[in-house]
A and B are shown apart, each in its own frame.
Chain A
């Protein structure tokens, strides 16, 4: 929607330009002050606008957690699934409606902890999904328990003396599981994040984008890192863009340098395409490919 079409007003000024894609009637949202999730939602809305997609062309699926609430704030077909099952739900959507774009928008605890198995197998089978993972290094909504992404020596509610577990490095996990498109940005890299979303929306296969976001109330407070604004300044000073980074460089320690960029960009046939090609070759005319679009 262009500005001229935006007839709604709030007070005596025009409503926010993204009000076609975001449910402004539900604002203010539940996320804390200085949380980074809202930035990622705004950048996804901007990317949809830039890619020229209408709200009918896209679905958004979320799991449980702070980031899981995204499904309730977007004005597209969206679903708030059970804990960790955002990817299986979206796989069903992607197989039955291959004409739409399917986005999974969830947090690190949802996607790679309880939903870790779904994540690696969706990447292995190259399901046609865009997975956006907002990584804030903790289980924020349940009170700050130790997450599989919490860096070593960072404190959590269930690790009062600091974590001693080796965390997951999400881009490495996605690369080794075979994802087609892997990128990482922080919530400060708004322009590059928007461009990456726009590029990934027009691609096929399993696309994974990790966004490092500040958690002001839980992660920063428990670790005495100041507020979310201080974490944003830390991203500003300590993130380095490196598109051909090695696996060791991608690891994130506690308040160490963050290597960001687009790490993998390759083409493989997606699951449905590979199935149609293989079965068509083996069965010949006996094979009837599934109808695109489903019942109208």
Chain B
């Protein structure tokens, strides 16, 4: 087999296997993350919950409280900034919310954390549920591109080969 044709087929096969990986990973990466103070934790003021690893997937933020709260999702840099000077540079912000479900698309992989502000004059019960769904967009894009390039280049090479044979 010619080396260039083999290379194209290899690109296609790697793309295909990455696509299978993308499909399998929809079940192997976390789908549900829960933050809140139903069982323990502060019930007023600023609360930063433990950070988590976010993958490049769609997700919904389900906020349920008994009070009006502010919920922020911070990326790694913003978490560090918050810890230094308590400034909020949120990637996603939901202010003056009592309850609601918000659909979002992740900006990229990395560490994120949920920061909430609970009114200080009362006891607030809060539950924030992040539900992840769908494929990891970056992996899906990469695998689709590789499959596309693989098919296209293989077809072109085969056509050129056919033409050369005829002449």
Q: Do A and B come from one complex?
A: no
* Interface residue ranges, B against A (CB under 8 Å): none
